[in-house]
């Protein structure tokens, strides 16, 4: 199976040996960040630094003229990725013989929410999630579609992987996070991720729901969870707590909103891209899930995109629903964490890849070549050499 390693520009720029080191893993491709959220990242081999702090979500290249005069626009990166950091890294990786694809993070942007709070998801209690732009809002959708097209189609890129192209919710890797005291489960996470901004209120109304009544019902449904009641029932629990018809209406609104955005963004990328440019989405086959791997309808998303990147570190079960709808050229990429310190299993990569292939995977994604230790990378080289 073809393998691609995730890489940040700051892993490569300023390190003359980085591109060759990545190529030496045995991967054929790199998935290189061109638009990325805020993060604090280790760079264990870089000759100039060990920690990179990306202070806010940014594009890692100079943004284009399309943003002139617009209220919502991407932010250029600061000192952690100055200038055309993406382009510099892409050139070095291509010179090392690697096919370069862009890695574009979309509806996950804390600075956008801080500077434009009305763009954020608002829960049933009125709390805003500044990291989570509401994808139902027309101006936000237009921003995300244009960002997808610009950040995906960078010079020399052969394809793209679009992350967070859908609903983001309560769950978020946040600095000094203190939200794990209550085990919300799938149902609680869904209820806490329902948005009540003006656009979503209108959307619920179009589905026959009163937004104020729905918000009150959500708060009532959550009360047992705040008192410690267990929730491991997933979607059936949402139906029991809200009522089957109400739950189904909220889900229908959110699914159609997300799928429509995905279709718009993929269409915009294809319009901007050269022929045979590959478009993949980071995706989860459970359509009501939120996050970086957005919930999707497998049949619908595979009718639009060339394939999906599926989280498989905890197991390969999520591949099967996509495999049922895959065509002969569909890419089903199993995303496996290779950083032992982040819960990955570089030593079991060969076995994990074999299981993923058996479930329908056609390619591998390795997270993350820049974050991994030397020992992790040695295990990856050994596993890939045995393919």
Query: Token pair for residue 326?
Result: 């895959």
Four-point Cα dihedral 83, 87, 89, 91, nearest 10: -140
Average of per-residue pLDDT across 332-353: 97
**pLDDT at residue 313, rounded to an integer:** 96
Q: At what angle do helices 198-206 and 244-272 cross, to 10 degrees?
A: 120
Q: Which two tokens stand for residue 10?
A: 């700051």
- The Cα–Cα gap between 108 and 291 comes to 9
Q: What angle do CA 309, 314, 316 make, to 5 degrees?
A: 55
What whole-number distance in Å separates Cα of residue 45 and Cα of residue 52? Answer: 12
- Do you find a cis peptide bond into 368, omega within 30 degrees of 0? yes
Phi, psi torsion values for 39, nearest 5 degrees: -165, 165
List CB contacts of 54: < 8 A, sequence separation 6 or more.
36, 37, 38, 39, 40, 41, 77, 78, 80, 81
Q: Are 118 and 93 in contact (CB under 8 A)?
A: no
- Put simply, whether the predicted model's pTM sits higher than 0.95 gets the answer yes
Q: Minimal CA–CA distance to 254: which of 221, 217, 294, 225?
A: 294
Burial class of residue 386 (count of CB atoms within 10 Å of its CB; 0-12, 13-18, 19+): exposed
Contact 142, 265 (CB under 8 A): no
Tokens of 152: 């995906």
Q: Over the chain, what is the mean pLDDT?
A: 96
Which is it for the CA torsion 88, 89, 90, 93, positive or negative? Answer: positive
Confirm if 115 and 56 have CB atoms less than 8 A apart: no
CA dihedral in degrees (202, 168, 260, 317; nearest 10)? -130
C-alpha closest to that of 376 among 346, 349, 343: 346
- pLDDT of 178 reads 61
The two tokens of residue 137 are 């809002």
Reply yes or no on whether the pLDDT at 181 is more than 70: no
Q: What percent of the chain has pLDDT over 70?
A: 97
- Tokens representing 235? 């979607």
pLDDT at 115 over 80: yes
Look up the CATH number of domain 2-180+278-385.
3.20.20.80
Q: How far is CA 157 from the centre of its chain?
A: 19
What tens digit of pLDDT does each residue of 183-224 get? 788 999 999 999 999 999 999 999 999 999 999 999 999 998
Q: Structure tokens of 316? A: 């390969």
pLDDT at residue 183, rounded to an integer: 76
Residue 69 CA, distance from chain mean position: 28
Q: Contact, 245 vs 126, CB < 8 A?
A: no
pLDDT at 184: 82
Assign 225 a pLDDT band (cuts: 50, 70, 90). confident
In this prediction, residue 223 carries a pLDDT of 92
Query: Is the pLDDT confidence value at 177 over 80?
Result: no
Cα separation, 284 vs 255, whole angstroms: 13
Q: H-type helices in 231-283, by residue range? A: 235-242, 244-272
Instruction: Count CA within 13 A, CB hemisphere, residue 32.
Output: 34
pLDDT exceeds cutoff 90 at 7: yes
Contact 333, 312 (CB under 8 A): no
| The pair of three-digit structure tokens given for residue 196, joined into one six-digit string | 């009540």
Q: What is the mean pLDDT of residues 109-117?
A: 97
């Amino acid at each position: 199976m073809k393998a691609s390693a995730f890489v940040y520009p700051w892993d490569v720029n300023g390190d003359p040996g980085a591109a060759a080191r990545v190529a030496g893993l045995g991967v054929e491709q790199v998935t290189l960040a061109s638009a990325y959220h805020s993060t604090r990242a280790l760079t264990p081999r870089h000759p100039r630094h060990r920690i990179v702090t990306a202070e806010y979500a940014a594009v890692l290249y100079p943004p284009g003229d399309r943003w002139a005069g617009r209220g919502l626009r991407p932010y250029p990166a600061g000192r952690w990725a100055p200038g055309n950091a993406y382009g510099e890294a892409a050139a070095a990786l291509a010179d090392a013989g690697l096919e370069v694809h862009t890695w574009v993070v979309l509806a996950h942007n804390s600075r956008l929410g801080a500077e434009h709070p009305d763009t954020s998801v608002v829960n049933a209690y009125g709390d805003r999630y500044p990291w989570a732009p509401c994808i139902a809002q027309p101006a936000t959708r237009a921003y995300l579609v244009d960002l997808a097209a610009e950040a995906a189609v960078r010079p020399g890129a052969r394809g793209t992987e679009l992350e967070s192209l859908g609903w983001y919710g309560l769950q978020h890797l946040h600095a000094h996070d203190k939200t794990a005291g209550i085990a919300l489960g799938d149902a609680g996470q869904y209820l806490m991720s329902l948005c009540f901004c003006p656009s979503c209120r209108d959307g619920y109304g179009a589905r026959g729901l009163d937004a104020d009544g729905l918000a009150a019902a959500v708060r009532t449904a959550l009360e047992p969870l705040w008192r410690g009641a267990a929730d491991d029932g997933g979607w059936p629990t949402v139906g029991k707590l809200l009522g089957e018809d109400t739950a189904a209406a909220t889900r229908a609104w959110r699914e159609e909103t997300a799928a429509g955005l995905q279709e718009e963004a993929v269409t915009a990328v294809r319009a901007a891209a050269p022929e045979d440019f590959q478009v993949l989405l980071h995706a989860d086959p459970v359509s009501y899930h939120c996050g970086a791997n957005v919930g999707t309808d497998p049949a619908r998303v595979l009718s639009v995109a060339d394939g999906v990147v599926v989280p498989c570190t905890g197991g390969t079960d999520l591949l099967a629903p996509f495999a049922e709808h895959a065509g002969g050229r569909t890419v089903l990429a199993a995303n496996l964490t290779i950083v032992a310190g982040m819960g990955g299993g570089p030593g079991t990569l060969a076995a994990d890849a074999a299981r993923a292939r058996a479930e329908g995977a056609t390619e591998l994604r390795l997270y993350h070549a820049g974050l991994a230790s030397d020992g992790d990378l040695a295990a990856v080289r050994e596993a890939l050499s045995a393919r």
